[in-house]
Structure 1
Amino acid sequence: MRSIRTISIALLAIIAISTAHAQSLPGGFVYLRDIDPTIIQDIRYATPNNFVGRPLAGYGAGECVVKREVGLRLKAVQQELATQNLSLKMFDCYRPARASLDMVRWSQNGHETAADRRYNPKIPKTELFRLGYIASRSQHSTGAALDLTLVDLKADNSARIDPSRSYADCTAPVAARLPEGSVDMGTGYDCTDEKGHTAAPSISPDQRAWRRRLVAAMARQGFVNYSKEWWHFSLPGAGGAAYDFPIQPRRN
């Protein structure tokens, strides 16, 4: 009887541990990789390759986490793009609230470096909060906002960042700025410049066409673009409360 009870307790412990693993994300959130593993991910805030120059608070893994409905709609976008030899590439998805506060602190730290200027060629970092480029509260923290671009699967996307090279700022021609392995949208990701506005008149016809193609593909699944950032989209009605749970490695 005692051994049966011991076994039962052990089984309950195993079940509890398994349940804890299965519930590592709050209800309604999923890893996008579990919805569609074909969508390319380059979660920049989990790396030093971003405007802050280091991983942001709360980014313990380079994984795209979203609300389930958002993930399913992204899968539908990806299926449409696949017929055109294109893919989505995710730069940011759910963002812990602590990461937004980390951005604000960075903007107010009183230091301006050459690396900062790659992303903010004309706007002092102290002005980014006032102008709406960063915020203490972000839609990303609800799991319903995304930063993304398009990848031409027929192109050579193998270029990687060379730490010994001095790159031009995010508004420079694509060959001179940091490589992103994606189509040329006219600026790099997170470029706080008028050229990064979705309808910017200063970009080329080809760059404008790529932006329109991305906006149209996302709009067909209900996503809305933010006019000051060609890469930023949200799904109205899918948000809700902001969260601050850290992004952890996905369990297989």
Structure 2
Amino acid sequence: MKRLHVLVVVLCSLLVQVAFAGTENPTLPEGFVYVDQVIPDIKIELRYYSDHNFVGRRIDGYLEPRCILTAQAAQALKKVQEELRRFGLALKIFDAYRPQRAVDHFVRWAEDLQDTRRKAEFYPDVDKQDLFKKQYIAAKSSHSRGSTVDVTITAMDAAPSAPGLDMGTGFDLFGPRSWPTSLAVSPESRAHRMLLQVLMVKHGFEPIAEEWWHFTLKNEPFPDTYFDFPVQRY
């Protein structure tokens, strides 16, 4: 009887494995890559995988600290890195592909007006109730299309968590001082912002008027698709 019981257990285990074959090991969607495999010396500090962000905790959909972009965006970013490398500088990524479920998390957080624990660092001059009206938070993000990146410049030999070049504000500061053309920051910071923007635009990215760190590949391959696969190793 004992031998029969063991045989039954083994058979059941095999049946379970067959039933779930192909579902436990999903693959990275076609057209997407891990950025560090394309640019091995790039610096990555995914803020939404950590609690160092405007919400104050890890964001839904960031299961592992993996930086993902479309292949086209990663190749364009590689050209920026190649230019910086000659001067002992490097790109540092704060965010890249962002699942729709993460954007939904931002929306839920913005609707909770009582949660202002990170206001002093990230939105000191903006009332939380105005985050939607001023479009700091929205129901859709270009990041979910896979070709948008939040990036700065740092020293090539710096640790990923080390501050990069002084850009005048930190990443994700909601307010006019984060505008690339703001005169409220020092001339040195404006020069650093200009360097970043010139290089990114040169290699096919488009900036936006409200955030010095935000760039979208001009000819993005999925301009109308908002993905929701989690950030993890596939």
Partners of 2:68 and 2:62 lie apart in 1 by 11
Aligned to 1:242: 226
Normalised TM-score (structure 2): 0.85
Mind listing any 5+ residue stretches in structure 1 that lack a counterpart?
A: 1-12, 161-179
Q: Which string of whole-angstrom CA distances, capped at 9 and with x for unpartnered residues, describes residues 196-232 of structure 1?
A: 1110011111000000000011111010111100000
SS state at 1:183 partner: coil
Aligned to 1:60: 63
Aligned to 1:209: 191
Partners of 1:134 and 1:232 lie apart in 2 by 14
Quote how far apart the aligned CAs of 1:38 are: 0.7
Question: Given the alignment of the two structures, is residue 122 of structure 1 paired with residue 128 of structure 2, yes or no?
Answer: no
For 2:229, the aligned partner's letter is F
Question: Given the alignment of the two structures, is residue 138 of structure 1 paired with residue 132 of structure 2, yes or no?
Answer: no
Partners of 2:159 and 2:56 lie apart in 1 by 22
Match of 1:231 among 198, 213, 225: 213
Q: Which of the pair has the greater relative contact order for Cα pairs under 8 Å at 6+ separation?
A: 2
If you compute each CA radius of gyration, which structure gives the higher value, 1 or 2? Answer: 2
Contact 1:76 1:221 in 2 (8 A): yes
* Alignment: residue pair count: 213
Contact 2:44 2:160 in 1 (8 A): no
- Computed over aligned residues only, the root mean square deviation of the Cα atoms, in angstroms, reads 2.0
Partners of 1:124 and 1:208 lie apart in 2 by 26
Q: Which string of whole-angstrom CA distances, capped at 9 and with x for unpartnered residues, describes residues 165-201 of structure 1?
A: xxxxxxxxxxxxxxx5211100000000110111001
Aligned to 1:105: 108
Match of 1:198 among 161, 180, 187: 180
Aligned to 1:86: 89
Normalised TM-score (structure 1): 0.79
Q: Which string of whole-angstrom CA distances, capped at 9 and with x for unpartnered residues, describes residues 138-157 of structure 1?
A: 00000011101000236xx5
SS state at 1:91 partner: strand
SS state at 2:213 partner: strand
Quote how far apart the aligned CAs of 1:100 are: 0.6
Contact 1:44 1:62 in 2 (8 A): no
